[in-house]
Amino acid sequence: MHFTKMHGLGNDYLYYYGELKNPSSISKRLSDRHFGIGSDGIITISPSTAADFKMRIFNADGSEAMMCGNGIRCVGKYVFDKGYIDQKKLTIETLSGNRELTLGTIGNRVNEVTVNMGKCIVNKPVLLDTSYGKVMVTPVSVGNPHAVAFVESITDAPVDTMGKELEHHPYFKDGVNAEFVQVIDRNTIKMRVWERGSGITMACGTGACASAAAAVRADLCDKEEEIAVCLDGGQLKIKVLSDGTVMMTGPAETICECEVEEQ
Active-site residues, by number, are 68, 204
d(CA 3, CA 113): 21
Strand partners, 200: 194
Name the minimum Å distance from CB 204 to ligand API: 4
For residues 60 and 41, the answer to whether their CB atoms sit within 8 Å is yes
> Using CB under 6 A as the criterion, what x/- string covers residues 37-66 for binding ligand API?
----------------------x-----x-
Residues 6+ positions from 168 with CB-CB distance below 8 Å: 175
d(CA 3, CA 14): 6
d(CA 141, CA 51): 22
d(CA 41, CA 32): 9
Query: Per the annotation, does 111 bind a ligand?
Result: no
Query: Per the annotation, does 144 bind a ligand?
Result: yes
Please select the residue that binds ligand API; options are 23, 76, 205, 251, rule is CB under 6 A. 205
Among the listed ranges 76-84, 104-112, 125-133, 201-209, the one in contact with ligand API (CB under 6 A) is 201-209
Residue 222, CA atoms < 13 Å, CB-side half-sphere: 8
Q: Which is nearer to ligand API, 186 or 235 (CB)?
A: 235
CA nearest neighbour of 254 among 98, 143, 109:
109
Regarding 11 and contact with ligand API (CB under 6 A), the answer is yes
Q: Determine whether 153 is exposed, middle or buried from the number of CB atoms within 10 Å of its CB (0-12, 13-18, 19+).
A: exposed
Query: Per the annotation, does 11 bind a ligand?
Result: yes
> Using CB under 6 A as the criterion, what x/- string covers residues 108-147 for binding ligand API?
------------------------------------x---
Among the listed ranges 111-119, 193-201, 227-235, 251-259, the one in contact with ligand API (CB under 6 A) is 193-201
Name the minimum Å distance from CB 189 to ligand API: 16
Binding residues for substrate, by number, are 11, 59, 69-70, 144, 177, 195-196, 205-206
